[in-house]
Amino acid sequence: MLSGMMQKGDFVRINYIGRLESEEIFDLTYEDMAKKENIYNPNVPYKPVPIILGAGFIIKGIDNAVLSMDVGDKKTFEVKPEDGFGQRNPKFVRVVPNKVFKQNNIEPRQGMVVDFSGIKGRIQSVSSGRIMVDFNNPLAGKTLKYELEVVEKIEEPKQKILSILEFYGINKAEIKISEDEAEVETQTLPVELKKRVSQLITEYVKAGDNVIKKVKFTEVFQA
């Protein structure tokens, strides 16, 4: 395959296996491999992931790798922390008073993952009312190994919009495009998600020669 076939702004689907330097798998898109390695999670959809290159859908190291690949290509490579999940920041390790846990009906234990208003952390230690919580991403500071496969390049405008919705976990939608407007008929979505989806559509999706300037959401209610 010729290299450099992909460009920023392209829509592609990728499969991958992410490993630590110890060879432990921390993320993957292959269901058969997950079952074989006894890490299968029935709540995880194992299938190729849709991404927009250069739009922050995935870590920089994978983004850069796909740019030098074509559909059907496979590659194995390392990702340093600066192109992965960043370096560990000591400032993200904080003392959380025990009363905060009591207010949330949590009995703190070392190693427990806790969630404070959407911000996740891992408890490092519990000692006389002082609980040390590490809010760094668990993969921060680590060199990662990836096996990557480019499965598909998405070209059709409606499929591009559906792939954006799929990335955010929305798998049922009807798309209508007329000139510079896209209508998305789907379930009720949070306002912030509508804004994000609209921004991606207007920035990255074209309908023929027309740039989509307006996104209309129609909500569907089912009994």
Instruction: Going from the first residue of the chain to its last (223 residues), give the mean pLDDT of each consecutive group of 10, the final group possibly shorter.
Output: 73 98 96 96 95 97 96 97 96 91 87 87 88 95 98 97 96 93 94 96 91 92 67
Q: Can you give the pLDDT at residue 223?
A: 60
- pLDDT, residue 163, reads 98
Residue with tokens 């009807």: 174
Pick from 29, 27, 1, 25: nearest CA to 13: 29
Our measurement of the distance from residue 11's CA atom to the centroid of its chain's CA atoms, rounded to an integer in Å, reads 14
Where b means 16+ CB within 10 Å and e means fewer, 31-61 reads eebbeeeeeeeeeeebebbbbbbbbebbbeb
**C-alpha–C-alpha distance, residues 201 and 106, integer Å:** 41
Alpha carbons 101 and 104: distance in angstroms, whole number:
5
Nearest to 79 by CA among 96, 63, 93, 102: 63
List Cβ<8 Å contacts ≥24 apart for 54-61.
54/8, 54/9, 55/9, 55/200, 55/203, 55/204, 57/167, 58/14, 59/83, 59/84, 59/85, 60/84, 61/144, 61/146
What pLDDT was estimated at residue 140? 96
Q: Report CA-CA distances (Å) from 124 to 24, 27, 131, 152, 170.
A: 21, 23, 8, 42, 35
pTM for the whole structure: 0.85
Which residues have C-beta within 8 Å of that of residue 98, sequence separation ≥ 6? 108, 129, 130, 131
